[in-house]
């Protein structure tokens, strides 16, 4: 399997990475190790030193590297000098929200691997597959009409789909099939308190309102925190890319195109972006990475840790 550079919406790159990893696991009969790194929060030199080493107690290894758009010039040079030295038993899967066609990583993977530009047309097939995989453990199925409606309701934030499906599974109880009517009924609650209103409250630094929305979104289900982390990271990273492009002198129209902001969203996106400096966004994203790691390693209580993050971001 070749090294892969995946470019597009985080949900799309994540799902594509899963499919590539499944292929690699079949090729190695499951005898492979896997490591995940967030490039804005890890040493590139250390990662590539490990990647150049042979896997321990495994036939092969996968390094999944997220957030490649945050790499600085020095890290890109280290990457360029090291990629050709990585042994064949090691595969890199690198994910980026947005890169230009002439970016050094695109050129590099064109030589040493392959580049996947994941566009909007990929969203439907990947979303449909994700829905089926999510429902499978519960023994539930979904009608074509319900799936189409769910894809429509999720809109431009498929990363929030995991939380919505969890709600649907709980909402439908013992019923084995999710219908269009069920999605419509549950959608009424999404409209009352949704994650985008929560994101707007955070961008406006309305601490009390943001905490109230957070409580309504999570309720008593701590497992809903992780999808919210995904949504926050997706949106804040879009803001970071936009702020970076604007500082580089790109036009607003180019920024909206690169960040996949549709015409009807421009007003809200522009208003929220004004509330964040690049430094503020980088600090908020670093806090999310730390929160995600602590939750997954059992070092933090999800709801309380998220409340602390919201207070810190909206108060400074």
Non-local (6+) Cβ contacts of 140 within 8 A are 169, 172, 175, 176, 177, 178
The percentage of residues in the chain with a pLDDT greater than 90, rounded to a whole number, is 17
DSSP-derived 3-state class of residue 34 = strand
pLDDT (tens digit per residue) in 116-172: 998 755 666 777 778 888 898 999 999 988 888 777 666 555 556 776 787 788 878
Q: Select the more confidently predicted residue: 302 or 13.
A: 13
Round to whole Å and give the CA distance between 278 and 92: 29
Q: Region 6-19: what's the mean pLDDT? A: 84
Using 50, 70 and 90 to split pLDDT, how confident is the model at 302?
Answer: confident
Task: Please name the residue that has the structure tokens 């208003």.
Answer: 271
pLDDT at 308 over 70: yes
Tokens linked to 124: 């439907």
Non-local (6+) Cβ contacts of 94 within 8 A are 3, 4, 5, 6, 65, 68, 105, 109
Q: What is the pLDDT of residue 73?
A: 85
pLDDT (tens digit per residue) in 216-275: 777 655 555 766 777 787 788 889 889 988 988 989 988 888 887 878 778 888 888 998
Round to whole Å and give the CA distance between 255 and 277: 16
Q: What is the pLDDT of residue 189?
A: 57
Using 50, 70 and 90 to split pLDDT, how confident is the model at 191?
Answer: very low
Tokens linked to 15: 């799902």
Q: Region 21-28: what's the mean pLDDT? A: 89
**Contact yes or no for 165/131 (Cβ under 8 A):** yes
Q: What is the pLDDT of residue 20?
A: 92
Q: What is the pLDDT of residue 290?
A: 81
Task: Please name the residue that has the structure tokens 């609650």.
Answer: 189
Task: Please name the residue that has the structure tokens 């431009």.
Answer: 156
Q: What is the pLDDT of residue 21?
A: 92
Q: What is the pLDDT of residue 193?
A: 47
Q: What is the pLDDT of residue 5?
A: 95
Q: Select the more confidently predicted residue: 114 or 55.
A: 114
* Mean pLDDT estimate for the chain: 83
Round to whole Å and give the CA distance between 43 and 46: 5
pLDDT at 311 over 90: yes
Cβ neighbours around 199 below 10 Å, total:
22
Using 50, 70 and 90 to split pLDDT, how confident is the model at 215?
Answer: confident
């Amino acid at each position: 399997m070749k090294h892969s550079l995946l470019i597009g919406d985080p949900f799309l790159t994540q799902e594509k990475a899963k499919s590539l990893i499944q292929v690699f696991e079949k090729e190695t009969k499951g005898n492979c190790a896997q490591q995940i790194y967030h490039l804005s929060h890890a040493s590139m030199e250390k990662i590539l030193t490990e990647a150049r080493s042979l896997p321990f107690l495994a036939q092969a290894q996968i390094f999944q590297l997220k957030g490649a758009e945050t790499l600085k010039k020095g890290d890109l040079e280290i990457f360029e000098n090291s990629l050709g030295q990585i042994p064949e038993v090691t595969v890199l899967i690198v994910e980026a929200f947005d890169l230009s066609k002439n970016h050094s990583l695109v050129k590099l993977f064109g030589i040493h691997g392959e580049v996947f530009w994941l566009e909007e047309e990929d969203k439907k097939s990947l979303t449909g597959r994700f829905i089926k995989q999510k429902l499978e453990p519960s023994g539930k199925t979904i009608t074509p009409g319900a799936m189409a409606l769910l894809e429509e309701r999720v809109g431009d934030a498929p990363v929030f789909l995991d939380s919505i499906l969890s709600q649907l599974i709980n909402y439908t109880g013992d019923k084995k099939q999710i219908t269009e009517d069920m999605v419509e009924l549950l959608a009424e609650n999404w409209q009352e308190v949704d994650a985008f209103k929560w994101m707007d409250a955070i961008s406006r630094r309305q601490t009390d309102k943001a905490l109230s929305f957070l409580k309504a979104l999570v309720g008593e289900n701590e497992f809903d925190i992780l999808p919210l982390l995904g949504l926050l990271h997706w949106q804040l990273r879009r803001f970071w890319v936009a702020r970076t492009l604007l500082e580089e002198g790109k036009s607003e129209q180019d920024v909206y195109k690169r960040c996949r902001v549709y015409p009807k969203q421009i007003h809200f996106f522009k208003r929220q972006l004004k509330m964040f400096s690049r430094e503020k966004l980088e600090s908020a994203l670093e806090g999310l990475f730390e929160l995600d790691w602590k939750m997954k390693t059992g070092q933090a209580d999800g709801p309380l840790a998220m409340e602390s993050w919201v207070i810190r971001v909206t108060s400074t």
